[in-house]
Structure 1
Amino acid sequence: MASSFDKFQKRRLISSYFSVVLSVFLVLFLLGMLGLFIINSKRLSDNFKEDIVMTVFFKNEATDTVFKAFDAEMKVGKFAKDFKYISKDDAAKQHKDIIGEDFMKFLGTNPLYNSYDIHLKSEFVTNPGFANMETQIRKNPMVADVVYDKQLITLVNDNIKKITLWVLVISGVFAIISVLLINSSLRLSIYANRFIIKTMQLVGATKEFIRKPFVRRSVILGIIGSVLAIFAIVGVLFYINFNYPTIDIFKDLNLTIAVLVGVLVMGILITWISTHFATQRFLNLRTDDLY
């Protein structure tokens, strides 16, 4: 009987440890991924903004000298992140690939213009920023037209603001929930040992002496859960970097390392604080209240 009871107690103890480690792992993994999303959100939004293109069409009278001067203007200007010259012949080939037919056979001539595709720096991807750029470009008498999607710019900026706000709100709520979940798991683990705690206290053990092994055990479980969460986060990062290299997820390596260290520190702090207060609660209970 004693052997069966010991095995039961051992299984219950292992189950308790596993639940704590699993809670710490899941919560810190999600928090870590959320933290990485937040620190990369500006760069991701900037990349998305900089994908919006402004197309500048030049008159047929424009010469190579005009194009070279425009190149130099874009290089020294503060607006453009990058730009690309597209000749009317290249534009005709692109249209042919898209529609599947050579429209010049019907028209007998190429009606398209030589043009530049310009991507603005993220800080200028606003309607005023594009308008200022357009005003500057239209001063060139060889420019036939300037085209960009004003509605898309407004939509992108409005949605980025909304997403940023919701991410911050969700992060705060999730951080509170995560602390409560880990605290609940640890309290249940200590609750199973409440009689041992009270017995040690009755035979004269100090509160610090009683609390120390429980805190040490919880911190070790917290470290195990944190390390597992870090490995899982790194695995996800390598997966993203391999399948979506354009995101360049490891660009801010120092911030990424800071988040991973933060996950480890949070695992230690949350388990230490939760265990400290949980054991304190049972130490302050009267013997009759244990039941």
Structure 2
Amino acid sequence: MSSNYSNKIFSNYFLVIISISIVLFLISSFTLIALNSEKIINDFKENIPVVVFIKDQSNKIELSKFEKNLEINNTIKKFDFISKKDAAIKLSEEIGEDFIDYLGYNPLYDSYDIFFTSNNVNNLFIDQLVEEFKNESFVEEVTYDAPLIDLINKNILILKQWSLIIGSIFLFISIILMNNTIRLSVYSNRLNIKTMQLVGATKFFIKKPFIITHIKLGVLSSIISSVLLVVILYYLNLNFFEIDFEKIKESVFITLVFSLGISVIISYFSTSIITGRYISSNIEKLY
């Protein structure tokens, strides 16, 4: 009998931990994405190049001066020089054949891929700079993806607004799910709650062990969800795309603290309210 009761308690708590861990993991994932959405957008903007194609037989002194001007320009994050030979190799790899053998010559140009800081990635600023580049005697052509930049800048505010709305809805649903999970857990002890009340225990005395237990379960669930989140981040970093942990460490810390805080707060208030309802209910309604 005692063994069956212990197994029932363990099974009940195990389901609570699993359910809350899943909810907290989803909350943490969305929170981390929301906190880093601007960083993600900025990183994307800073990887949109303005490509300056250089005429053949250009003056090396002029090019050297051009590079120095790029280096001291604080609106430019970085720039890469790509020789026509390297460009040809890359293009041949992309199309799957050596087009130089077919044409008999390399029609490509040396070029500079210029990347700007995110604050300066807008069509108005870049158009002005492009005109300056075109005025250089050694410049053959300047290209960049203007429609993409325009699309990003127009939709940043909309993206932030929708993130806030979706986040609020998601948090509300998560709170309901956690509350229902705790309610089912407390429900299985409703008769014990009423028995304690009938023998003269105060409301605080009855609530205390349930609150402490579910706060512990909430904290444990938060730890599990946090470990899972960090493991998945490292997995994504190793197998899919590079994550700069130095840049996101602050947001990861905030996310983990937020997850812990949410678990403790919801566990406390939900357990207290639900236990109080069973204390106040008629014994006939408990069956």
The two structures share one fold, judged by TM-score above 0.5: yes
Tell me which moved more, 199-208 or 157-166: 157-166
SS in 2 for 1:246: coil
Unaligned runs of 5+ in 1: none
Aligned residues of 2:36 and 2:251 also touching (Cα < 8 A): no
Q: Would you say 1:194 and 2:190 are equivalent positions? A: yes
Number of the residue aligned with 2:262: 266
Kindly tell me: are residues 285 and 238 of structure 1, through their superposed partners in 2, closer, same or farther at Cα, counting changes over 3 Å?
A: same
Q: Out of 103, 122, 126, which is 2:122 matched to?
A: 126
Tell me which moved more, 157-166 or 185-194: 157-166
Q: Would you say 1:79 and 2:79 are equivalent positions? A: no
Q: Number of matched residues?
A: 286
SS in 1 for 2:141: strand
Letter in structure 1 aligned against 2:202: T
Number of the residue aligned with 1:103: 100
Q: How far is 1:82 from its partner?
A: 1.0
Tell me which moved more, 163-172 or 43-52: 163-172
Q: Structure 1: how far apart are the matches of 2:194 and 2:236? A: 51
CA RMSD of aligned residues (A): 2.4
Map 1:37-52 to 2 at 5 A: 37-52=33-48
Q: How far is 1:96 from its partner?
A: 4.2
Q: Would you say 1:284 and 2:280 are equivalent positions? A: yes
SS in 2 for 1:34: helix
Kindly tell me: are residues 57 and 284 of structure 1, through their superposed partners in 2, closer, same or farther at Cα, counting changes over 3 Å?
A: same
Tell me which moved more, 26-35 or 84-93: 84-93
Letter in structure 2 aligned against 1:36: L
Number of the residue aligned with 1:24: 20
Q: State the TM-score, normalized to the length of structure 2.
A: 0.88
Aligned residues of 1:211 and 1:276 also touching (Cα < 8 A): yes
Map 1:1-291 to 2 at 5 A: 3=1, 6-60=2-56, 62-99=58-95, 100-103=97-100, 106=103, 110-158=106-154, 160-244=156-240, 246-291=242-287
SS in 2 for 1:44: helix
Q: Structure 2: how far apart are the matches of 1:76 and 1:95? A: 31
Q: Structure 1: how far apart are the matches of 2:196 and 2:102? A: 96
Identity over the aligned pairs, expressed in percent?
A: 35
SS in 1 for 2:267: helix
Q: How far is 1:214 from its partner?
A: 0.8
Letter in structure 1 aligned against 2:130: E
SS in 2 for 1:112: coil
Q: Structure 2: how far apart are the matches of 1:71 and 1:84? A: 10
Q: Structure 2: how far apart are the matches of 1:286 and 1:98? A: 75
Kindly tell me: are residues 288 and 60 of structure 1, through their superposed partners in 2, closer, same or farther at Cα, counting changes over 3 Å?
A: same
Unaligned runs of 5+ in 2: none
Q: Structure 1: how far apart are the matches of 2:191 and 2:283? A: 9
Q: Structure 2: how far apart are the matches of 1:30 and 1:96? A: 44
Q: Structure 1: how far apart are the matches of 2:72 and 2:129? A: 13
Q: Structure 2: how far apart are the matches of 1:191 and 1:112? A: 74
Aligned residues of 1:250 and 1:256 also touching (Cα < 8 A): no
Q: State the TM-score, normalized to the length of structure 1.
A: 0.87
Deviation sequence 1:187-244 (CA, Å, 0-9, x none): 1222222222222222221111111111111111112211111221121121122224
Tell me which moved more, 22-31 or 162-171: 162-171
Aligned residues of 1:87 and 1:114 also touching (Cα < 8 A): yes
Q: Structure 2: how far apart are the matches of 1:93 and 1:31? A: 46
Aligned residues of 1:23 and 1:185 also touching (Cα < 8 A): yes
SS in 1 for 2:201: coil
Aligned residues of 2:78 and 2:114 also touching (Cα < 8 A): yes
Q: Structure 2: how far apart are the matches of 1:206 and 1:77? A: 72
Letter in structure 1 aligned against 2:233: L
